[in-house]
Chains A and B, each alone.
Chain A
Amino acid sequence: MLGAVTDVRSDALLPARAQRSVHRGGLGAPTPPSVLDVLEPLLPEVRKPAQYVGGEHNMVTRDWAAADVRWLLCYPDTYEVGQPNQGIQILYEILNGRATTLAERSYAPWLDLEERMRERGIPTFSLEHHLPLWAFDVFAVTLPHELGHTNLLNLLDLGGVPHRSALRDEADPIVLVGGHAAFNPEPLAPFIDAAVMGDGEEVVLEIDDVVRAAKRDGLTRAELLRALADVEGVYVPALYEPRYTDDGRLSRTVPVATGLPTLVPKRTVQDLEEWPYPQRQIVPMTETVHERFSVEIFRGCTRGCRFCQAGMITRPVRERRPETVQRLVEQGVADTGFEEVGLLSLSSADHSAIGPIARALGDTYEGTVTSLSLPSTRVDAFNVTLSNELTRNGRRSGLTFAPEAGSERMRAVINKMVSEEDLLRTAQVAYSQGWRHIKLYFMVGLPTETDEDVAAIAELGIAVYRIARTHGKANKVTLSVGGFVPKPHTPFQWAAQDTPEELQRKLALIRQLIRTHDGIKLRTNDPEEGVIEGLLARGDRRVAAAVERAWQLGARFDGWHEVPTLDLWRRAMDETGVELAWYSQRERDEDEVLPWDHLDSGLEKGWLWEDWQDARTAVQLDDCRWSPCYDCGVCPGLDLVHDTGYQPGALLPVMPSAPAGLGGPAAGSLPTSAERYAAGSTRGVTR
């Protein structure tokens, strides 16, 4: 064929290891080859090509030669899912804020592009300058959950970097992980060089310093890893060794070098006000799943839902001041042009000044096309009021609440303090104020669950639907039901996970009970989906063999329905002798050593165990933001006063310990924590 370029494989992009080091030099090092020219011709053939080109507003481009430490930050999923993540954007801005540090971003190529990249020898690349992974000093990957593990291996391999850390040398980047799933990195231990637990703002700068010094002083890889292990919060798996008892249980994970902590602490940023990032947020040129200017209004959560890993490991609560939130939003909207603002956190309605924050933003953007959103699933009338405030301009279509369990008893077990009466009252308020659709989140497969508890989900849905109908024939209810996956560092870390068959049976029970109600929609996740997540969440270092094998068999994008990988995983588990039932479907006892016991999330194991015992007897705990401290272990090590409003002590009135929503006063007059606070003080709020 005339005009055809025949030599499609370009060896220049994946040069021999000996030729790579030159690009890894300090200031003035030559820029590695860009993959863009070879990539571009492939793009018209693949799905959503704009995800691979970068070039977004607020992208930072710094010359390779102008930096002496170079990071490639990665969310190991597609751009459309990963780009909105705030963690990566924070680290990007902080690292690029340094004079001689460069940070670029990368995401996982979809299968269609990966196939073509492998054919042509195109390595994992950055979006800024389309530079190959192998040339960077640090490959920093965020793991918000477990379903990116095979993608991580794949990105390394595709990027010309040996996927096992033992096979890497000075010519390879340091592979660093962080994010929530890094709180149990054991199933990834042979593949990563280091894991960071907790907040990344300060620690990345310390790591940057260590890498810079190592390059300057010509440290070997082993010396660099040892130096990284001295940074507080950095865990280097190769320097720790799990020991097992004869019956295959873990006996301890111990440091194998001197001077290492036996308990690796997590990092906690004490004052979010000092880290007002990300400010210059990336504006994607192609559709993503979460397009908005996001401001994290607080970090942490004290509600203490026993199933919730995020809530447990991000303690304590640290709030951003209302005036800072207002400033970040105003500057951010003007800078990015986003038409939507998201007030982000784990439970945004719980900010102690959320009322004034919402009102001030509502005033600022009233009559404009800028809309505000608050990801809150709190079940109370105050949440409806807040949502009303935020939708002054727009349509009241749907509200989401998360009672998480159907029966009062089950909610006591998981410590979700919502009464049925309260939920129904909230539904009543919402539908009467013009909301037309309520979505309710539930889980099945929770510890101690009986069929009655499961049936109660359907009954609650039906009760809400009856209320919906009295306010409009077209009003709807959606029940969204997922299978519970026990996670490390939570009171449920000892619990057994239901098998997919059992979850299937429970979902069928719900489906059967609501079948006569057309206006109730049931949305379920495939129960099989939790299998891999469960194995990886609580797996130990031996599970790594299954991760590697599953990836070799072709597993990637484990969280995607379009890519069914469970059969590959089952085969991988068979071949590597990893027994799913032992890892996932077994209840652990108090003495069992857990694979993450040497990693300190701040919560004492003894406290978690007691809470687990309380769970089984359905004893509830109040939110520790408003009630006396339970000594969960998080706060004492920090310079934080035990209450956690954004100005400790000075503004926070002492709260009565009755949390919102345990029966009591009627809706509307229900004193929620935030309202109580707001009534006490409006100082410092821009109005």
Chain B
Amino acid sequence: MSVRYRVRWSKEGRTRFVSARDQSSIWERAIRRADLPIAYSEGFTPHARVSFPDALPVGVASTGEYAELTFAAPIRADDDLARLSATLPEGMDILTYTEVPAGAPKLASLLRATLWELVWPPVDTTALTTLLGRRCATMLAATSHEVVRHRHDGDRTLDVRPAVVSLAVATGPTPDGAGARTTLRAVLRNDAPTIRPADLLVALCDGEVASPALVRRVAQGVPTADGLVEALGGELEMVRTDVVVEAA
């Protein structure tokens, strides 16, 4: 009797440089260390039945990663998943889990939008917050906003606007409290064509603003007017953390 669990997990600190490819073996080995009765695929090179809905760009932090695990036997989820979380590399932690009833909708279908957070180094903060704020307001007021995505296989024109649900720019303190830095939060739809934070930045301020110091996928779920409802836990994640610029 197999049982399925869905987990929301984080990929922070050093582990954000782990590629999607390497991520699977990290999980498989952690599951073996935690001695959990994971189910395996058939065939000569059996793989643990752990699946991840989509890949996160290398270098991006996240508290909004998800995975689906299929076990060959029942587990004691509280203890067992805590043990798994503890043996995952530092920075990867299981945040919440749910057991998946038979016939439940696919995980991917619950992850309709993503809340992203982009944080700049504590440089030019006031000017940066003002500029980004203005641009965000302009974008939200428009019905379409095209950008060109450069790829090795050729350029492609994308309309960014349909994916944008909400945007918010704020100035917040640095972690050490010594300065201030600009933060941009955005809820973007996951439906194709997928728009990544990099595309959004090109659309907002191509060439005018340096790359953020940190990009984070905060959570995924169902978009609302002012944020999203997180897919597994159901809590409301607000796009705004401050009232500088806001619209929907």
Query: Taking beta carbons and an 8 Å cutoff, which residues of A are in contact with B?
Result: 1-5, 41, 43-44, 48-50, 52-57, 283, 285-287, 291, 333-339, 369, 394-395
Contact = CB atoms under 8 A, between A and B. Distances in A.
B28 A337 contact: yes
A292 to B, nearest CB: 11
6 contacts: A2-B208, A2-B210, A44-B58, A49-B59, A50-B17, A55-B14
Contacts of A287: 21-22, 25
B164 interface: no
B87 interface: yes
Contacts of B40: 369
A53 B210 contact: no
Interface in B136-165: none
The A interface, classified by DSSP as helix, strand, loop or mixed, is: loop
Contacts of B30: 57, 337
A55 B91 contact: yes
A50 B22 contact: yes
Contacts of B17: 43-44, 49-50, 52-53
Contacts of A395: 44-45
A557 to B, nearest CB: 22
B58 to A, nearest CB: 6
Contact of B13 (A49, A50, A55, A333): A55
B19 interface: yes
A2 B209 contact: yes
B131 to A, nearest CB: 6
B33 A335 contact: yes
A56 B120 CA distance: 28
Interface residues of B, number: 45
Given A3-B121, A337-B31, 4 more contacts: A5-B121, A49-B59, A50-B22, A335-B33
Nearest to A61: B90
A369 B42 CA distance: 11
Contacts of A291: 25
A287 B30 CA distance: 15
B96 to A, nearest CB: 23
B14 A53 contact: yes
Given A53-B14, A285-B22, A369-B40, A3 B182 contact: yes
B128 interface: yes
B44 A336 contact: no
B89 interface: yes
Contacts of B213: 41
Nearest to B130: A2
A431 to B, nearest CB: 19
A269 B32 CA distance: 34
Contacts of A48: 19
A1 B33 contact: no
B89 A3 contact: no
B58 A49 contact: yes
B67 to A, nearest CB: 16
B103 interface: no
A55 B17 CA distance: 11
Nearest to B120: A3
Contacts of A336: 29, 33
